[in-house]
């Protein structure tokens, strides 16, 4: 990261915005991450992204094996600025990348002998996979999963909308993660990286400003 450029760009921000970035970064985590698999309803992926931001999850992984989609900016309500989106052409590729980063693969499903949400071990670095309400997760994910997780339900309905499920699960696991002796905080280097990214995303015509600064250095 170019520290001089970062400090210059920060001059475009209010003190309130700079302090807000620092405050939010102290609460951000990559201990948990979220994956959506072929969720073709735009509003659902966008709503999951909002939940990631609300509960301090920094990364959302989107598998688009069958249908390539974009984020619905109106429903995401700006969350796409603050949450990193990673896109994959297949579930297998996503799983491979997450395993490299030390995540266990957790399939959320109400249909088998899954761990109940309140019994889930939050000490483990975990990637929560969500599928569609009707079809659920693919067989590929179910076969590769290290564990299964379900929300206890007591009525006739067997499943919840993906965005509702993600919000319920994240609220539970993030709350318990913070209460238990889990090393969930971002590294200082990651905080700086995100602060730089968020700063750039907060400034209009930032690329023109950066180009001007670079040209001034050359002259």
| Claim to verify: residue 195 and residue 177 sit in the same structural domain | no
CA neighbor of 35 nearest in space, from 97, 79, 78, 123: 97
Neighbour order of strands in the sheet with 32-37? 84-88, 59-63, 32-37, 126-130, 104-108, 147-150, 115-116
- Given a contact cutoff of 8 angstroms between Cβ atoms, the answer to whether 73 and 44 are in contact is no
**Which tens digit of pLDDT belongs to each residue from 12-63?**
999 999 999 999 999 999 999 999 998 767 778 888 999 999 999 999 999 8
The pTM of the full predicted model, rounded to 2 decimals, is: 0.90
Predicted pLDDT of residue 74: 47
- Given a contact cutoff of 8 angstroms between Cβ atoms, the answer to whether 97 and 88 are in contact is yes
Structure tokens at 148: 């299964």
| Claim to verify: residue 12 and residue 109 sit in the same structural domain | no
Low-confidence ranges of the chain (pLDDT < 70): 1, 40, 65-79, 133, 218-219
Predicted pLDDT of residue 12: 93
| Claim to verify: residue 136 and residue 219 sit in the same structural domain | no
Structural domain count of the chain: 2
| Claim to verify: residue 38 and residue 109 sit in the same structural domain | yes
Predicted pLDDT of residue 92: 95
| Claim to verify: residue 108 and residue 21 sit in the same structural domain | no
**β-strand partners of 132:** 136
How high does pLDDT run on average in the chain? 88
| Claim to verify: residue 40 and residue 22 sit in the same structural domain | no
| Claim to verify: residue 45 and residue 147 sit in the same structural domain | yes
| Claim to verify: residue 154 and residue 197 sit in the same structural domain | no
Predicted pLDDT of residue 219: 61
CA angle in degrees (0–180, nearest 5) for 98-95-182:
35
Full domain range(s) for residue 15: 1-27+190-219
| Claim to verify: residue 33 and residue 15 sit in the same structural domain | no
């Amino acid at each position: 990261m170019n520290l001089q450029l970062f400090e210059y760009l920060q001059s475009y921000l209010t003190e309130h915005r700079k302090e807000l970035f620092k405050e939010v970064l102290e609460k951000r985590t990559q201990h948990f991450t979220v994956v959506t698999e072929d969720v073709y309803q735009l509003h659902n992926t966008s709503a999951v992204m909002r939940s990631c931001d609300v509960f301090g999850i920094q990364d959302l992984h989107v598998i688009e094996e069958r249908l390539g989609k974009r984020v619905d900016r109106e429903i995401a309500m700006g969350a796409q600025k603050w949450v990193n989106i990673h896109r994959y052409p297949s579930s297998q590729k996503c799983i491979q990348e997450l395993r490299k980063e030390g995540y266990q693969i957790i399939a959320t499903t109400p249909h088998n002998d899954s761990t109940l949400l309140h019994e889930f071990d939050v000490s483990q670095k975990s990637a929560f996979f969500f599928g569609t309400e009707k079809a659920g997760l693919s067989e590929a994910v179910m076969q590769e999963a290290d564990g299964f997780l379900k929300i206890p339900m007591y009525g006739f309905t067997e499943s919840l909308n993906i965005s509702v499920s993600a919000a319920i699960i994240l609220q539970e696991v993030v709350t318990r993660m913070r209460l238990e002796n889990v090393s969930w905080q971002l590294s200082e280097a990651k905080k700086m990286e995100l602060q730089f990214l968020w700063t750039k995303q907060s400034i209009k015509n930032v690329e023109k400003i950066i180009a001007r600064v670079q040209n001034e250095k050359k002259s």
